[in-house]
Amino acid sequence: MAKIETRLFGFTHSGTPVNEYILSNPGGLTVSVLDYGAIIKNIIVPAKRGPVDVVLGHDTMQEYELDTATYCGAFVGRYANRIEGAAFTLNGKTYQLEANNGRNHLHGCFARKSYEVKAFGDTLLLEAESPDGEDGFPGNMKIAVRYTLTPDNAFRMDYRVSSDADTIVNLTNHTYFNLNGGGSVLNQRLKLFASTYLESNEETCPTGRILPVAGTPMDFTKGKAIGRDLNPGSDQTRIVGGGYDHCFVIDRPRAGARQSICAWATCDESSISMKVYTTQPGVHLYTGNYLQDCPSPGKGLHPMQKYDGFALETEHFPCSPSHPEFPSTVLRAGKVFRVSNTLRFFTGKQCGVI
């Protein structure tokens, strides 16, 4: 069974203490979580050359607060990804949201919240509330995030939210992965279990067209180096900063609470592999196209660079309120919205080949 240690990480600018919770299992996998933003600060994987921290982040609380752009490691909502025009209509009423990404709304306030934590066994339970009107959304929302580290090197993330009024919701985790612990991720390999994707416009919002990946740079169905098709690439990779920033529609979704595999990433240099499972209908691949603009340094005070990490944001589709043909993100009053994800890590001969 995993063990959990707690230590003070720092203080917010308002003086609120922030704790770091360190989960470790007998196999040597270690995950560090902050009670600010429910941030995944470290995932340290035992490898042949020694332990490798496979996620991006910062060394201090001040650096996390200064970084308002990348959402490194954070649990995000009320609405993960974008809402076009920072407004939506529900039950005949239009709600105006914070426009924090040009004219659009992006991710929301969950990444900036302090969470109450209960630690037991191999699990952390982080809880918070979002009052009616926060970021412009209706309903008082209760939030519960459960992180569990298993003996077989799996890290499970379960989310549960409810509201006392009809609202919309989309939840994800925004960890950036680098399975080599540093440098560019463009030579790391990725397979996505997705034969279609959402076409994007120049604001990184879906046009509404769901297109086949076959024969395009968006095709990861057989596995390939992440950067293989970026040069010359296509209009779709050009308009989002010369990389990927797209939602892929997961194949073979399973009904109910059962998870489906959506992604498999490997790094030959470190011999580390990661498989991602989710109950969500989509997975958003972002290749850190603007990480160089991060105002805070990364770990070890190293400035972040373009392509230093890739995010696999399991989610409902961006801008769903503008596209009734997409799976609904409406949460009715008194109902519960649940999401379940798992990251499973392998090393050495277990790594496999894509």
Assess contact for 247 and 199: CB atoms under 8 A.
Answer: no
Query: 3-state DSSP call for residue 86?
Result: helix
User: What kind and span of H or E run contains 63?
Assistant: helix 61-66
Nearest Cα to Cα of residue 134 among 180, 97, 185, 90: 97
| Catalytic entry in 58, 107, 174, 284 | 174
226: Cβ contacts below 8 Å, ≥ 6 apart = 185, 186, 187, 188, 189, 190, 244, 287, 310
Q: Tell me whether residue 127 is one of the annotated catalytic residues.
A: no
| Catalytic entry in 84, 134, 313, 315 | 313
Assess contact for 55 and 73: CB atoms under 8 A.
Answer: yes
Nearest Cα to Cα of residue 229 among 186, 176, 282: 186
What φ, ψ does residue 184 adopt, rounded to 5°?
A: -70, 145
Joined tokens for residue 64: 């996390």
What φ, ψ does residue 260 adopt, rounded to 5°?
A: -120, 145
Nearest Cα to Cα of residue 124 among 144, 154, 153: 144
Q: What is the DSSP string of 296-346?
A: S--GGGPPP-TTS-EEEEEESPTTGGG-TTSPP-EE-TT-EEEEEEEEEEE
SS (H, E, C) 105-128: EEECCHHHCECEEEEECCEEEEEE
Q: Tell me whether residue 313 is one of the annotated catalytic residues.
A: yes
User: What kind and span of H or E run contains 252?
Assistant: none
d(CA 173, CA 154): 16
Question: Alpha helices of 244-299 — where are they, by DSSP H?
Answer: none
Q: Could you give the residue numbers annotated as active site? A: 174, 313
